Amino acid sequence: MELLILEDGRSTVGFARFQKKGGAYFFLGAEHSSLEDHATLSSLLRDLAEGEAGEQTVFLSLDAENIFFRELPLPISDRRKQREVLPLQLKGETAIDVEKLIFDALPLADGKVMAIWAIEADLKAKIASLNEAGLEPQVVGSALFHWHHLLPVTGGDAAVALSDGISLAVYFERKPVLFRSLGNGNFLDEIARTLVLIEAGKGIQVERVLLHGSAASSSFEGQTSHIPFESLPVAGGLAEAFPSESMAIENAGAWALAMASLSGEPINFRHGTIAYTAGRDRLKKKLLLTAILAAVFLVLLLAETGLRYYFVRSDISSLDDSIHQIYREIFPARTKAVDEVAEVKSEIRNLGGVTASQEILTALDGVAKAKNDDITAIYEAEVDSGQMRLKGDARSFNAANNFKSRLAPLFDSSQMDEVKSRPDGSVSFSFRGTLKERTK
């Protein structure tokens, strides 16, 4: 998955792209542009977005100048509940009505939270500009609140400050102590004054200030502060994510925000009235498509089942018609049948006794095979104690004798008892034979 982090600075806007591999994000590239070179923010975003393609997640990192925060005692650990309580907690204490603000919270130590809020109208305007450029952000927050990912692996328990020249974060024992936005003047002097106030107010003495972003390239000459300023050390995951140390220092803030999305929920103002719904809408469309396909499959399945049922019913009806026709041919005098199949079976059993039904059927099957077109009809058949008597019509005397010859394999002995000629040359015959033992 590709992550695109848009850094909304005071005078510049930039993209930092990362690729997720395993449990980490790796740097793909970055691009920055000055707001002074574009008529509007939307035009700048469109220019920057021209090279973007494919599915990607977009995060918007705001300048701390557009965010407000305050430390509060709030013994609630659930982030969602903290968001709900903060407007009530700060009602009447903000310059703008809390109904026009969007809140989030960063848990601190000792039952305290850092209440963070921004103006809803400003956020909507920025989101609209990104939407116009085709880059709707899933997360709107600030990388500032996740700089703890940049703390050195060793020596991080001491008081350390991090700055990109625009914002300042102070950590003690790897826990946030202070966040603030810096002015546009000499940020080194402003940091030094802030750290003196922290030492006086909280008794926390910062040992060193680590600079990244554009601040890392600043000159430290003439700095009178006893606190050392130095570039952010590049090691561990930060070093692995970037091809060079200079790229790591320049884009460290964006990388910290990317890592925050892996280790936990980052600060995000996209909830409530400006909640991110594009992902949910895409999921709805996928579920709708799945539901449509399932409905089509169900309709096809029902149609196939209906056709199968229709064909089976047709086969059964055809079989019933055949049975009815055979029954009428066998029993023309019977006007009403109760169970045609059962009656035929009963008559076959009666022909040769209960134990002879199979032998009788075999004999009759042999007679049917011996009959051809020269035998115009067999209208009477009787089987009794191994003796079979047949009466029928043939086209000629020779046809009757040939029929007798074809029946010879079924009988031990056979004879034509009576052959009567008709004026048209056809004959009626009466046949009698003794069934062979294997046929019985």
| pLDDT tens-digit map of 154-174 | 765 789 999 999 999 999 988
Domain-wise residue ranges, the chain: 1-143+234-276, 153-232, 277-331, 340-435
What is the SS3 assignment for the chain? CEEEEEEECCCEEEEEEEEEECCEEEEEEEEEEEHHHCCCHHHHHHHHHCCCCCCCEEEEEECHHHCEEEEEECCCCCHHHHHHHHHHHCCCCCCCCHHHEEEEEEECCCCEEEEEEEEHHHHHHHHHHHHHCCCCCCEEECHHHHHHHHCCCCCCCCCEEEECCCEEEEEECCEEEEEEECCCCCHHHHHHHHHHHHHHHHCCCCCEEEECHHHHHCCCCCCCCCCCEEECCCCHHHHHHCCCHHHHHHCHHHHHHHHHHHHCCCCCCCCHHHCCCHHHHHHHHHHHHHHHHHHHHHHHHHHHHHHHHHHHHHHHHHHHHHHHHHHHHHCCCCCCCCCHHHHHHHHHHHHHCHHHHHHHHHHHHHHHHHCCCCEEEEEEEEEECCEEEEEEEECCHHHHHHHHHHHHHHEEEEEEEEEEECCCCCEEEEEEEEECCCCC
Q: What does the pLDDT read at residue 438?
A: 58
Q: How confident is the model at residue 251, as a pLDDT?
A: 94
**What is the b/e burial string over 156-178, where b = at least 16 CB atoms within 10 angstroms of the residue's CB?**
eeebbbbbbbbbbbbbbeeebbb
Measured in whole angstroms, the distance separating CA 36 from the mean position of its chain's CA atoms is 44
Over range 408-419, report the average pLDDT. 86
Which residues in 110-134 are b (16+ Cβ under 10 Å) and which e? eeebbbbbbbbeebeebbebbebbe
Over residues 323-351, the pLDDT tens digits come to 888 877 777 777 777 777 777 777 666 65
Condensed to tens digits (0 to 9), the pLDDT of residues 183-209 reads 888 888 899 999 999 999 888 999 899
Span 309-336, average pLDDT:
82
- pLDDT-based confidence at residue 258 (cuts at 50, 70, 90): very high
Query: Which pLDDT score, from 0 to 100, does residue 242 have?
Result: 95
User: What's the rounded Cα separation, in Å, for the pair 69 and 362?
Assistant: 101
> pLDDT tens-digit profile of 34-60?
766 655 666 767 766 665 555 788 999
Residue 253 neighbours by CB under 8 Å, 6+ apart: 7, 61, 143, 144, 147, 150, 164, 212, 213
In terms of pLDDT, which residue wins out, 238 or 55? 238
Q: What is the pLDDT of residues 361-408, one digit of tens each?
A: 778 888 888 888 889 888 888 887 778 889 999 999 898 889 889 888
Stronger pLDDT, 153 or 139, i.e. the higher one: 139
pLDDT digits (tens, 9 = 90+) for 82-95: 888 999 989 988 88
Distances (CA, A) of 70 to 112, 116, 170: 10, 7, 14
The average confidence (pLDDT) of the chain is 85
Q: What is the C-alpha separation between 432 and 440, in angstroms, rounded?
A: 15
| CATH hierarchy code of domain 340-435 | 3.30.1360.100
From CA 245, how far away is CA 71, in angstroms rounded?
35
Question: Percent of the chain at pLDDT above 70?
Answer: 89
Cβ–Cβ contacts within 10 Å for residue 326, how many? 13
pLDDT band at 440 (very low <50, low <70, confident <90, very high): very low
Task: Look up residue 440 and give its two tokens.
Answer: 């019985």
Does residue 32 or residue 139 have the better pLDDT?
A: 139
Q: Is the dihedral of CA 47, 48, 53, 56 positive or negative?
A: negative
Query: Across residues 237-265, what is the average pLDDT?
Result: 92
Q: How far is the C-alpha of 210 from the C-alpha of 252, rounded, in Å?
A: 11
Is the pLDDT confidence value at 268 over 80? yes
The whole-number pLDDT of residue 434 equals 87
Q: How far apart are CA 119 and CA 124, in angstroms?
A: 9
Fold classification of 1-143+234-276 is: Nucleotidyltransferase; domain 5 (3.30.420)
Find, among 402, 408, 412, 421, the residue nearest to 440 by Cα. 412
Domains 1-143+234-276 and 153-232 share a fold: yes
pLDDT of res. 353: 52
Question: What is the average pLDDT across 76-87?
Answer: 87
The CATH number given to 153-232 is 3.30.420.40
Indicate the pLDDT class of residue 223, thresholds 50, 70 and 90. Answer: low
Is the pLDDT at 222 greater than 60? The verdict is no
Other beta carbons within 10 angstroms of residue 198's beta carbon come to 19
